[in-house]
Amino acid sequence: MEKTIVKAFRMQLKPGFEVEYKRRHDEIWPELSGLLVNAGLLEYYIFLDEQTLALFAFQKLKAGDTTSELAAFPIMKKWWDYMADIMDVNADNSPQAFALPEVFRL
Protein backbone atom coordinates (compact mmCIF):
# COMPACT_ATOMS: atom_id res chain seq x y z
CA MET A 1 0.00 0.00 0.00
CA GLU A 2 1.37 3.40 -1.00
CA LYS A 3 2.11 5.78 1.86
CA THR A 4 -0.04 8.91 1.96
CA ILE A 5 0.08 12.17 3.87
CA VAL A 6 -2.98 13.95 5.25
CA LYS A 7 -3.21 17.73 5.63
CA ALA A 8 -6.06 19.81 6.99
CA PHE A 9 -6.39 23.57 7.08
CA ARG A 10 -8.89 26.37 7.55
CA MET A 11 -9.60 29.33 5.27
CA GLN A 12 -12.21 32.10 5.49
CA LEU A 13 -14.97 32.98 3.04
CA LYS A 14 -16.32 36.53 2.86
CA PRO A 15 -20.02 37.02 3.71
CA GLY A 16 -22.48 36.60 0.86
CA PHE A 17 -20.23 34.49 -1.37
CA GLU A 18 -21.29 30.97 -0.38
CA VAL A 19 -23.02 30.19 -3.69
CA GLU A 20 -20.31 31.86 -5.78
CA TYR A 21 -17.52 29.94 -4.02
CA LYS A 22 -19.25 26.63 -4.77
CA ARG A 23 -19.97 27.66 -8.38
CA ARG A 24 -16.34 28.53 -9.03
CA HIS A 25 -15.15 25.22 -7.62
CA ASP A 26 -17.81 23.28 -9.54
CA GLU A 27 -16.26 24.83 -12.66
CA ILE A 28 -12.60 24.44 -11.66
CA TRP A 29 -10.32 24.82 -14.64
CA PRO A 30 -9.09 21.47 -16.06
CA GLU A 31 -5.50 22.74 -16.28
CA LEU A 32 -5.59 23.56 -12.56
CA SER A 33 -7.10 20.18 -11.65
CA GLY A 34 -4.38 18.49 -13.69
CA LEU A 35 -1.67 20.48 -11.95
CA LEU A 36 -3.01 19.51 -8.52
CA VAL A 37 -3.18 15.82 -9.42
CA ASN A 38 0.32 15.91 -10.93
CA ALA A 39 1.61 17.51 -7.72
CA GLY A 40 0.41 14.48 -5.78
CA LEU A 41 -3.10 15.35 -4.63
CA LEU A 42 -5.10 12.14 -4.32
CA GLU A 43 -8.16 13.62 -2.61
CA TYR A 44 -9.15 17.20 -1.76
CA TYR A 45 -12.28 18.14 0.14
CA ILE A 46 -13.46 21.58 1.24
CA PHE A 47 -16.33 21.96 3.70
CA LEU A 48 -18.16 25.16 4.65
CA ASP A 49 -19.27 26.05 8.18
CA GLU A 50 -22.36 28.07 7.23
CA GLN A 51 -22.49 29.85 10.60
CA THR A 52 -18.93 31.21 10.59
CA LEU A 53 -18.12 30.95 6.84
CA ALA A 54 -14.96 29.06 7.78
CA LEU A 55 -13.76 26.71 5.06
CA PHE A 56 -12.28 23.43 6.29
CA ALA A 57 -10.01 21.72 3.77
CA PHE A 58 -8.74 18.15 3.88
CA GLN A 59 -6.12 16.80 1.50
CA LYS A 60 -4.78 13.31 1.01
CA LEU A 61 -1.40 13.45 -0.74
CA LYS A 62 1.03 10.95 -2.20
CA ALA A 63 4.27 10.59 -0.28
CA GLY A 64 6.80 12.84 -2.02
CA ASP A 65 4.12 15.27 -3.21
CA THR A 66 5.22 18.59 -4.70
CA THR A 67 2.28 20.71 -3.54
CA SER A 68 4.67 23.10 -1.79
CA GLU A 69 5.86 24.14 -5.28
CA LEU A 70 2.39 25.01 -6.65
CA ALA A 71 2.81 28.75 -5.97
CA ALA A 72 5.41 28.91 -8.75
CA PHE A 73 2.88 27.99 -11.46
CA PRO A 74 1.08 30.80 -13.34
CA ILE A 75 -2.24 28.89 -13.37
CA MET A 76 -2.14 28.67 -9.56
CA LYS A 77 -1.54 32.42 -9.28
CA LYS A 78 -4.34 33.04 -11.78
CA TRP A 79 -6.73 30.95 -9.61
CA TRP A 80 -5.70 32.86 -6.49
CA ASP A 81 -6.39 36.16 -8.29
CA TYR A 82 -9.77 34.79 -9.41
CA MET A 83 -10.71 33.82 -5.84
CA ALA A 84 -9.28 36.87 -4.03
CA ASP A 85 -12.51 38.88 -4.10
CA ILE A 86 -14.50 36.28 -2.16
CA MET A 87 -12.14 35.04 0.56
CA ASP A 88 -9.46 36.25 2.96
CA VAL A 89 -6.11 36.29 1.16
CA ASN A 90 -2.46 37.18 1.68
CA ALA A 91 -0.66 40.01 -0.16
CA ASP A 92 0.05 37.68 -3.13
CA ASN A 93 -3.67 36.69 -3.26
CA SER A 94 -2.95 33.18 -1.96
CA PRO A 95 -5.67 32.17 0.49
CA GLN A 96 -4.95 32.73 4.13
CA ALA A 97 -4.70 29.12 5.26
CA PHE A 98 -4.20 27.99 8.83
CA ALA A 99 -2.94 24.45 9.39
CA LEU A 100 -5.09 22.31 11.66
CA PRO A 101 -3.27 19.77 13.85
CA GLU A 102 -4.55 16.23 13.93
CA VAL A 103 -5.95 15.31 17.32
CA PHE A 104 -7.65 11.98 16.59
CA ARG A 105 -7.64 9.25 13.95
CA LEU A 106 -9.62 5.99 13.86
CB-based contact 13:95 (threshold 8 Å): no
For residues 43 and 61, give the distance between their C-alpha atoms in angstroms, rounded to a whole number.
7
Q: What is the largest CA-CA distance in the chain?
A: 43
Going through the chain in order, the beta strands assigned E by DSSP cover: 4-12, 41-49, 54-62, 98-99
Which candidate in 6, 22, 23, 25 is catalytic? 25
The distance from CA 85 to its chain's CA centroid, rounded to whole angstroms, is 16
Measured CA to CA, the distance from residue 11 to residue 53 in angstroms comes to: 9
37 is catalytic: no
Catalytic residues: 25
